[in-house]
Structure 1
Amino acid sequence: MNSGATEMPSHHNLTHWDERSDLAVAFRWTARLDMHEGVANHFSMAINDDGTRFLMNPNQMHFSRIKASDLIVVDANDPETLTGPNAPDPTAWGLHGGLHRHCPHARCAMHVHSIHATVLASLADSRLPPIDQNCATFFNRHVIDDNYGGLAFEDEGARCAALFTDPKQKVMIMGNHGVMVIGDTVAETFNRMFYFERAAETYIRALQTGQPLRILPDDIAEKTARELENYPEQDVRHLAELRAILDEEGATYAS
């Protein structure tokens, strides 16, 4: 749902305006954080019960310019989607189509090649140890893909989706590729993506010191992860604050 007040949209014929607006905020702020990849990478949000119809950014539009009205509706069960106006690029179709088709609990999905998450994905051991509170957030809550198979066309997307078998694991460290984050809402998924990048940065910078790591015991890491999962409304408030900043600046995301 919409995590903050917006003006009535001028595009009355467009459905799911709250989800569109939230996604537009997420795109704009991802670009501001320099977590985007030029005109590549993609976010999606399911809009039907089984998740096979979803909103997505149009092909090769820069995240910093995306508006709610720009988002296209993609049908994971209809290959003709690739021939429509502003159709998603084939890798977006393959990765997100495969995910929404095979993993219905992934209502929202965000895929980026953000620097520190991608550095982590490039290590021979891509596990994220619980060396601080942010890292502990993802203790036993990320899955690692060790079998990168090239660009994420349809078969590769289905293979990646099959790795999300544990509902507790909502981050995929895509070996040699980047990161995929899933969740129930845009606010939850963006918040998770943001903190995963921060956690990966802390870990990478700690490795760069060459000093021994102070790793939390498993029981404390698990306790911390559970406490953060139950922390009230942080994701909703986070997105609402970003929306407020954009509104104060007169941004056009909600148009």
Structure 2
Amino acid sequence: MTAEIKSQVSAEEWQLRVDLAAAYRLVALFGWDDLVFTHISARVPGADNHFLINPYGMMFEEVTASSLVKVDQNGEKVMESPYPVNPAGFTIHSAVHAARDDAHCVMHTHSINGVAVSAQAEGVLPISQQATLVLASLGYHDYEGIALNEEEKPRLVADLSDNTFLMLRNHGLLTVGMTPADAFLAMYIFEATCMIQVRALAGSRELTPVQPEIVDGVKEAARIVTKGLFGDLAWPGLLRRLNRQNSGYDA
């Protein structure tokens, strides 16, 4: 099947498929997956407004480049595939893709630490270096039930605004990026922020907050640290780790 799909798509789409499949497997490797639920979507290069998403029912650790399903803005298949899709699961993703030209990749998780912090009234606390990166570009969206309602889309988009991170109250985390690498690194930082916060609060000790002026200057510092590459700086190393532990995503 790999050769068949690869021959039907552009070189750019195939590379995106490989990177997106790697992102799925990395989410599983880091323990952020929720069985077969949640999604990572990516806009296919070109002007057709098509997207790639996981086959519904396949574990994240099983996703491959050729098994990813190409859908339109409504979550309907636009390329023959033996795998099912869940159009309802694309509701959040389609809203973000439609509103943000720079959101080529949208990653959504239901991780334990992420959901735990999303349920805390104060949200993300400025208590770690990771938190300062998140707070510099963070929105919040109140829970409206399982995301099936089309009427929720404009409210979700407004809450995301031009931010990289969105905390879905009582639900989970969402990040956007130009590439799967960017969305993944953003999620790594978001997840680390939540894990640190859960552990710090469990310590039952007074916490030391980062000063607001430091948070205000963190975006430029992050650009310098990542050499302006952001996700691309860590991506080659992440792929090497994945190849050691769960290769085959590029099939």
TM-score normalised to structure 1 length: 0.86
Tell me what 1:219 maps to.
Answer: 213
Structure 2 residue corresponding to 1:44, chosen from 41, 46, 51: 41
**Cα distance, 1:103–1:229 mapped onto 2, change above 3 Å:** same
Q: Any idea what SS the aligned residue of 1:228 has? A: helix
| Structure 2 runs not aligned, ≥5 long | none
**Cα distance, 1:90–1:234 mapped onto 2, change above 3 Å:** closer
Superposition deviation, residue 45 in structure 1: 0.8
Contact 2:126 2:135 in 1 (8 A): yes
Q: Any idea what SS the aligned residue of 1:194 has? A: helix
> In the alignment, is residue 14 of structure 1 matched against residue 14 of structure 2?
no
1:162 maps to a residue whose letter is A
Q: Any idea what SS the aligned residue of 2:200 has? A: helix
2:177 maps to a residue whose letter is G
Contact 1:43 1:56 in 2 (8 A): yes
Superposition deviation, residue 142 in structure 1: 0.7
CA distance in 2, matches of 1:79, 1:246: 29
Greater mean alpha carbon deviation, residues 40-49 or residues 191-200: 40-49
> In the alignment, is residue 135 of structure 1 matched against residue 155 of structure 2?
no
CA distance in 1, matches of 2:212, 2:75: 45
Contact 2:25 2:246 in 1 (8 A): no
> In the alignment, is residue 238 of structure 1 matched against residue 234 of structure 2?
yes
Tell me what 2:116 maps to.
Answer: 119
Equivalent pairs, count: 242
Contact 1:110 1:181 in 2 (8 A): yes
TM-score normalised to structure 2 length: 0.87
**Cα distance, 1:180–1:221 mapped onto 2, change above 3 Å:** same
Residues 71-94 of structure 1 show CA distances to partners (whole Å, capped at 9, x for unaligned) of 111110x56449975342133221
CA distance in 1, matches of 2:232, 2:120: 33
Q: Any idea what SS the aligned residue of 1:109 has? A: strand
Contact 2:133 2:219 in 1 (8 A): yes
Tell me what 1:4 maps to.
Answer: none
Residues 85-118 of structure 1 show CA distances to partners (whole Å, capped at 9, x for unaligned) of 5342133221112221233331110000011111
